[in-house]
Amino acid sequence: MKMRSLFAVATTAGFALYATLASADEAAIRKNLAERLASLPKVDEITKSPMSGLYEVRVNGNDIFYTDADGNFLIQGNLIDTKQMRNLTEERIEKLTAVDFDKLPLKDAFTIVRGNGKRKVAVFEDPNCGYCKRFERDLQTVSNVTVYMFLYPILGQDSTEKSKAIWCAKDKGKAWQDWMVREVALPAGASCDTSPLARNVEFGKKHKITGTPTLLFADGARVPGAISAAQVEKFLSEPKTQ
């Protein structure tokens, strides 16, 4: 199911798919859920869902639940539009976790430039990720691109140590490619400020980057998992339509 905007205006009614609630209705749902489910995180927002009588409850920034008008029931799962064959919950989460490429914290990444570097992609990778190593070998054949490499050590403490060695290397890009592509040992002994690594992990959690590699393209496209060089070329050359 492809992502489509959940905030597109409905053609028949002229209202957004997700509408705001009257303050009294929202207050009642908040009150009942808080009193009955102490373990439920603080509710960020409650809105009407596209399904009549069903309300979206958003917590932790981008976790989605559903409830009735009185907060008597709480549902965790996917809301599917069977007419259009769309996973509305998945689309909603993708919208909430979308990353504006122009607002990426590029200071916490290093760059690898090939050719004229005009095309851009950001990649989140763990140095111990086997799929990432395969992806990096394929990526060597993609030209005229700037790769913003975000070290994303989520596979264990050793991933953190390897990421520190790469981040503190004199030439980060060379150290990274030596390790990932050429199986050359990482440089040892260097030390520096490695706080960007922790910030990358926090950024990833916020935007639900749960695996490596994860690719973010300048047009907003997001691809979880290793893809071929040909697929990378397609994303770089054929920006998605909004």
Query: How far is residue 14 from each of residues 8, 60, 105, 142, 242, measured CA to CA in Å?
Result: 10, 30, 37, 44, 20
Domain boundaries, the chain: 19-96, 101-237
Q: Does domain 19-96 have CATH number 3.40.50.2000?
A: no
Digits of tens for pLDDT over the chain (242 positions)? 333 332 232 323 333 455 666 677 899 999 999 999 999 999 999 999 999 999 999 998 889 999 999 999 999 999 999 999 999 999 998 888 888 999 999 999 999 999 999 999 999 999 999 999 999 999 999 999 999 999 999 999 999 999 999 999 999 999 999 999 999 999 988 899 999 999 999 999 989 899 999 999 999 889 999 999 999 999 999 876 54
101-237 has which fold?
A: Glutaredoxin (3.40.30)
This prediction has a pTM of: 0.74
Verify cis geometry, omega within 30 degrees of 0, for the bond prior to 213: yes
Which residues are within 8 A (CB) of 186 and not within 5 positions of it... i.e. 6 or more apart?
A: 162, 165, 166, 169, 175, 178, 179
What DSSP character marks residue 141? T
